[in-house]
Amino acid sequence: MDLILFLTFAIIAVVCALSMALQRHPVASALSLIGVMVSLAVLYVLLGAEFIAAAQLVVYSGAIMVLFIFVIMLLNAGAEKMTHKAGLAEFLGIPLLLLFLAFSTWVITNATPAGKMIKFGNFTGGGPREVGWELFTRYVLPFEVTSILILIAIAGAVRLANRELD
Amino acid sequence: MREILPQELFTQAVPQAAYLILSAILFTIGIAAFLFRRNIITVFMAIELMLNAVNLSFVTFSNQFGKVDGQIFSFFVMVVAAAEAAVGLAIILMVFRNKATLQIDDIDSLKN
């Protein structure tokens, strides 16, 4: 059952990502990106990371994407005009990206041991209890620093949204 | 369902490399969207896609080593992405208010 679930949601993720890259309208791109995030959440559950899967659904596809769609609606963004100002990237971009993908695939297949299989249920250390324990013991200083980061981000966003550019 | 599909699909586990290759594919699509799209909001969404791809490989390595540290890292990536989205969208709002455009070709005040 693992392989079927993995293949289904991996294909959904790749198709949604391609659709995000190819759609002309920002709202369609945003909805495709939500599709990618939801299928990645399913893959996180398969990997034994229940807490991260829930956070992915709540924080990413809930909060962040709603913020994106809110801004798209607020600015009334229409379909984009394609211009050909990309310069070198227009000709070299796709071949170089394919080269990058081939190279990273080669590195991954060489670096991972061949018999290494991931089976659902083999790793059970990803619940809220275990993640919370690590977060508040070993990682308590980074955790507090991120709270300061969030505070700075809130202050910066409020300041930016209130000010006119000279 | 079980009669149509081959039996191996139901019993076999997933190789670890498959997750990492999926992560690489999503990252590459993110770079492509970042390079070729001309709408500032879509470019921003491409960055989110790349962050998601990296999160997937963090969680995969967490599974491989049997430790929860990789998941903690992807949790921090999520927090940073949320902060980045808030500031970035505020910047996009301000740019739109001043330039009345979302095309990145028209926003070139710092060029030359």
Tell me which of A90 and A72 has the higher pLDDT: A72
* CB B41 within 8 Å of CB A31: no
pLDDT at B96: 87
> A35-89, pLDDT tens digit by residue?
999 999 999 999 988 999 999 999 888 889 999 999 999 888 777 777 766 677 6
With CA atoms as reference, report the closest residue to B49 among A65, A50, A83.
A65
Range of the structural domain that residue B76 is part of: 15-99
Domain membership of residue B4 (yes or no) is no
In a domain, B5, yes or no: no
Residues B92, B47 contacting (CB under 8 angstroms)? no
Contact A89 B46 (CB under 8 A): no
Q: Determine the pLDDT at residue A17.
A: 94
Quote the radius of gyration of chain A (alpha carbons, Å).
20
Q: Is there a domain that residue A55 lies in?
A: yes
How high is the ipTM of this complex? 0.89
Note whether residue B38 is domain-resident. Answer: yes
CB pair distance less than 8 Å for A36 and B78: no
Nearest to B65 by CA among A113, A128, A52, A109: A113
Percent of chain A past pLDDT 90, that is, above it, reads: 46
Which pLDDT band, with edges at 50, 70 and 90, does A165 fall under?
A: low
For the cut 80, the answer to whether the pLDDT of residue B82 exceeds it is yes
CA-only gyration radius of chain B, Å = 20
The reply to whether B34 falls in a domain is yes
Residue A157 in any domain: the answer is yes
Nearest residue of chain B to residue A133 (CA atoms): B68
Statement to judge: residues A4 and A66 lie in one domain? yes
- B87-96 tens-digit pLDDT: 999 988 888 8
Q: Domain range holding A146?
A: 127-166
User: Is A8 part of a structural domain of the chain?
Assistant: yes
DSSP run (H or E) holding B15: strand B14-15
For chain B, the average pLDDT equals 87
Residue A117 lies in a domain: no
Q: Is residue A112 part of a domain?
A: no
The enclosing domain of B65 has a CATH number of: 1.10.287.3510
Count of structural domains, chain B? 1
In a domain, A83, yes or no: no
Q: Could you say which residues from 59 to 78 on chain A have a Cβ atom under 8 Å away from some Cβ of chain B?
A: 59-60, 63-64, 67-68, 71-72, 74-75, 77
Determine, yes or no, domain membership for A108: no
- Per-residue confidence band for B100, with pLDDT thresholds at 50, 70 and 90: confident
Same domain, A67 and A136: no
AA letter at B57? S
Helix, strand, coil share of chain B (percent; to 5): 75, 5, 25
- The number of domains in chain A is 2
